[in-house]
A and B are shown apart, each in its own frame.
Chain A
Amino acid sequence: MSIGSWLRDHPRMLERAYGSTKSLFQKLDPVIKRIGYERVDRWISGPEDWSKKIIFNCKMCGQCVLHSTGMTCSMSCPKNLRNGACGGVRANGHCEVKPEMRCVWVEAYERSEQMGTWGHEITHIQPPVNRQLEGSSAWVNMLTGVDQEVPKGWVGINTIPVLEKNGSGS
């Protein structure tokens, strides 16, 4: 078992790591802003790509929603589904496209059930991907807010009222 798959099977730990890294970046924001977001993007997008590839098989879409998808990279789904799982999942829970691989979204759902803070966000509708952000640092995009920008028509409708997985809608 690779270190990446071991970590992915411990979503609570990854969720906590995400929470602390997020607040670290937010604290450093004034400094990063002074240095310049573009320059910092050049510095960190390489290491971010390297580390997230090992842990999450990250595709560097530049608008990371890992915490909303069971700390499982939705872009590693061969259909790039931001809102899976598709109806093609095999009887053994494996992928329609790559029969040797477990469905990314089956894993995302299982892991979201183990997460305490952001697990419920698997019920959110994720907006379409902004393909212009591919290859850039998701952390820097989080600070500038560009990762939250949605097409004008979509404004105000990017999530749904959260459904409790064990009960009725709220």
Chain B
Amino acid sequence: MSGEMKAGTNLERVLRAGHFAVTAELGPPDSSNPDDVIHEIGVMEGAVDAYNATDASGAHCHMSSVAVSALTAQQGLDPILQISCRDKNRIAIQGDVLGAAALGVGNVLCLTGDDVTAGDQPEAKRVFDFDCMHLLRTLRIMRDKSMFLSGRPLTTAPKLFLGAASNPFAMPYDFRPIRMAKKIEAGADFIQTQYCFDIPRFKEFMKRAVDLGLHEKAFIMVGVGPMKGGRSAEFIRKNVPGVRIPDAIIDRLNGAPKGKKAEEGKKICIELIQQAMEIEGVSGAHIMAYKLEHQVPDIVKGAGLWPRPVMEAVQEPMPEPVPGD
């Protein structure tokens, strides 16, 4: 699928050129020091096409995703700004997107967001003025119609490559491809799935997606991630909403010799990427290596996806000279 360029970000160019894309999640720091972000980006540099800046994921507060994205863009790299509907109403979100675009952000991942009760401040007020579908459509309106949702015009529309999440591993299973179709209709140009550990279930989901022609309308990227060991996998299964890890994976991690468990987790992750690459309609992998970011280059190499393609920058048309200048 080539299609019309929406924002010309590195991620979009890699995908439209037909390469198998790789993105990874940046764990934003609990700090106000920009060097913490720059260091983490450096750990993964060259291994991925774009970096997801999470927006208080799991309802835990960290450095804002707009700031992390802007710092990434300052490094000449391609950020994916994640926006959750949990903490901001429609007025705040639209302003943030204009600001982020002004700071060089082109990719935006639109999420409903984990509930406040998942975090360490469950007493907070949940907003959810929008859901992810409204967020996608509103950003598409800003991009394509050059106006706010209210209809008030923008003097410069943001150039955006819009993303959405999908969880093929949560009920109701039959409805998941339909809901993804709704997200694509609402505006999603690319999809990143929740952690995939269950290839048969993912295959079923992708088959339905391909039947519906969704892989021709949006780039679908499989979500994967290395686990530190059986205990941490069990913790994630129990505490992170929507993550399903089959017992077989946990048994395999537990069965690895002491000191080799993280290595086994990395191996599983590589195998999952390779299996997903064989499935029709899968355009890339999204690696969520929480606190294991240093493993990302090895995972990308292990999956045979190194080096990453170097895309030529999109030539911005030169502004017309103003007479008398």
A35 within 8 A of B: no
Q: What are 8 A-B pairs with beta-carbon distances under 8 A?
A: A83-B134, A89-B171, A91-B171, A93-B172, A105-B172, A122-B175, A126-B133, A153-B148
**In the complex, chain B residues whose CB is within 8 Å of the CB of A88:** 114-115, 170, 241-242
**In the complex, chain A residues whose CB is within 8 Å of the CB of B137:** 125, 154, 157
Task: Give chain A nearest CB distance to B140 CB in angstroms.
Answer: 9
Considering only residues 205-261 of chain B, those with a C-beta below 8 Å from chain A are 211-213, 241-242, 244
Question: What 1/0 flags go to B149-174 for Cβ under 8 Å of A?
Answer: 11100000000000001110011101
What class of interface size applies to chain B in its complex with A? 35 or more
Cα of A84 to Cα of B128 in the assembled complex, Å: 12
Asked if A85 meets B185 with Cβ closer than 8 Å, knowing A96-B115, A153-B148, A169-B212, the reply is: no
Considering only residues 107-161 of chain B, those with a C-beta below 8 Å from chain A are 112, 114-115, 117-118, 126, 128-134, 137-138, 141-142, 145, 147-151
Cα of A105 to Cα of B131 in the assembled complex, Å: 13
**In the complex, chain A residues whose CB is within 8 Å of the CB of B145:** 153
Partner of A106, one of B172, B181, B186, B211: B172
- A-side interface residues, number (CB < 8 Å): 40
In the complex, are the beta carbons of A81 and B128 less than 8 A apart? Answer: yes
In the complex, are the beta carbons of A85 and B175 less than 8 A apart? Answer: yes
Asked if A87 meets B166 with Cβ closer than 8 Å, knowing A93-B171, A154-B137, the reply is: yes
Considering only residues 125-160 of chain A, those with a C-beta below 8 Å from chain B are 125-129, 131, 151-154, 157, 160
In the complex, are the beta carbons of B171 and A127 less than 8 A apart? Answer: no
Partner of A152, one of B132, B147, B172: B147
A56 within 8 A of B: no
Asked if A125 meets B171 with Cβ closer than 8 Å, knowing A81-B131, A152-B151, the reply is: no
A22 within 8 A of B: no
Cα of A125 to Cα of B182 in the assembled complex, Å: 7
Asked if A160 meets B182 with Cβ closer than 8 Å, knowing A85-B170, A109-B175, the reply is: yes
In the complex, are the beta carbons of A165 and B112 less than 8 A apart? Answer: no
Considering only residues 63-97 of chain A, those with a C-beta below 8 Å from chain B are 78-91, 93, 96-97
**In the complex, chain B residues whose CB is within 8 Å of the CB of A89:** 167, 170-172, 242
A45 within 8 A of B: no
A123 within 8 A of B: yes
In the complex, are the beta carbons of A97 and B182 less than 8 A apart? Answer: no
**In the complex, chain A residues whose CB is within 8 Å of the CB of B134:** 82-83, 127-128
In the complex, are the beta carbons of B172 and A109 less than 8 A apart? Answer: yes
Task: Give chain A nearest CB distance to B137 CB in angstroms.
Answer: 7
In the complex, are the beta carbons of A80 and B181 less than 8 A apart? Answer: no
In the complex, are the beta carbons of B181 and A84 less than 8 A apart? Answer: no
Chain A residue, CB-CB nearest to B116: A97
In the complex, are the beta carbons of B131 and A85 less than 8 A apart? Answer: no
A163 within 8 A of B: yes
